[in-house]
Structure 1
């Protein structure tokens, strides 16, 4: 075991905790943990001349926790189940539309830039949470590493833009705000939705999970016809 592998896990926790503290203090996307923490770790690896493979070997445990962390979003969904049941039609229509728009927009942009099929297949699941996005990407024949990059970028950009859209579109509904963040920015957006309120976070959690399931369904139905 190398020194980098040994320190990777505690180093990541320290950097994330620092980023979280800065975000709570300044409330700006520039110090958001999902943006600042990776940047600090990249800088550390560059200056220490460390190997990413060695770092990944020591920090892989964190990646394994993505699945359980996603499942944990079911807790607030259970608590506010009566609201989810009450708005089931609005949720179904909104999430299905948002999921289709996310997939189609990815394909259109890829076509405009004449991307190769592998790259297109990699970015199609960019709007769903990473564990499911990786599965969809592999099923389609894409590159999971590229998928992860675009999922993270989608989460950061969506979380950055969403509050402005909510403000200028005058969205006062907890349902609208939650689904907007959950469908567009998956887990990152859901974390931001909980900053608005528990109900917004609950709707965002549901939107994220349903969008992920619909992405799998739509991908397996429609995309084989195109590739």
Structure 2
């Protein structure tokens, strides 16, 4: 085994280096082309998969190092409280609209999954696996474990939802002529969690703050709602 191959199979360094390197490439491409399609996380996913396939490195070896990055999910989510604190007066002023918007978003998400489950005749495990698709991974994993769904599938669905929200957010807002910053933030955060919030923060401080709030509140509501909706199938 060559020194390069030894490095690839060193679980302490390899996963972290590959993850950060591919994400960095994604950031460079996004900065250069300035297109929503060049989402850094999406590019990182494709490049990482391609690298593992080309060099025939199994996922377990990669994840031995990459899993340490996952430990940052919870503290990074908590840090989203900072922009919310800075816009606290605006939150109090629009409290009723914010609550109605988040609750509506959570109910729409759960009901949509329920209808799709009926349409495609999913079994209970597959159904509950999709219920937390619009909340952050740190909360979604706990929900699915409690409901006895498929955790790897849930993580994949959550990432896809977030990436799609990040890419499509501006287009959807223009399509439905949503111009109010508070409404933008609530819509993005409730539907596409932290990855969508990254886009909301690009749109403005108010959008970012409201989206950050939506992540927390919609996550808590989904924990309760998923337990209720899981009884339907």
**TM band (smaller chain):** over 0.9
* Structure 2 unaligned blocks of 5 or more: 1-5
Residue equivalent to 2:77: 70
Specify the SS of the correspondent of 1:29. Answer: coil
Residue equivalent to 2:35: 28
2:15 pairs, out of 8, 15, 25, with 8
Residue equivalent to 2:231: 225
1:194–1:200: 8 Å Cα contact kept in structure 2? yes
In the TM superposition, residue 116 of structure 1 has moved relative to its aligned partner by 1.8
For residues 72 and 158 of structure 1, the distance between their equivalents in structure 2, rounded to whole angstroms, comes to 21
1:2–1:54: 8 Å Cα contact kept in structure 2? no
Residue equivalent to 1:115: 122
Spell out, residue by residue over 1:39-93, the C-alpha distance to the aligned partner (whole angstroms, 9 max, x if none): 0000000000001001000111111100011001001111111111111111111
In the TM superposition, residue 104 of structure 1 has moved relative to its aligned partner by 0.9
Spell out, residue by residue over 1:109-149, the C-alpha distance to the aligned partner (whole angstroms, 9 max, x if none): 12211112111110010000001011111111111111011
Q: Is 1:155 aligned to 2:162, yes or no?
A: yes
For residues 224 and 77 of structure 1, the distance between their equivalents in structure 2, rounded to whole angstroms, comes to 31
In the TM superposition, residue 168 of structure 1 has moved relative to its aligned partner by 2.2
Q: Is 1:165 aligned to 2:169, yes or no?
A: no
For residues 7 and 21 of structure 2, the distance between their equivalents in structure 1, rounded to whole angstroms, comes to 19
For residues 189 and 55 of structure 1, the distance between their equivalents in structure 2, rounded to whole angstroms, comes to 26
Residue equivalent to 1:88: 95
> Larger relative CO (CA 8 A, sep 6+): 1 or 2?
2
In the TM superposition, residue 27 of structure 1 has moved relative to its aligned partner by 2.1
2:190–2:211: 8 Å Cα contact kept in structure 1? yes
TM-score (norm 1): 0.95
Q: Is 1:174 aligned to 2:178, yes or no?
A: no
TM-score (norm 2): 0.93
Spell out, residue by residue over 1:169-224, the C-alpha distance to the aligned partner (whole angstroms, 9 max, x if none): 2222100111111011101110000110111100111111110010012123x235
Q: Is 1:200 aligned to 2:203, yes or no?
A: no
1:30–1:36: 8 Å Cα contact kept in structure 2? no
In the TM superposition, residue 150 of structure 1 has moved relative to its aligned partner by 0.8
For residues 158 and 99 of structure 2, the distance between their equivalents in structure 1, rounded to whole angstroms, comes to 22
For residues 164 and 201 of structure 1, the distance between their equivalents in structure 2, rounded to whole angstroms, comes to 17
RMSD over aligned CA atoms reads: 1.4
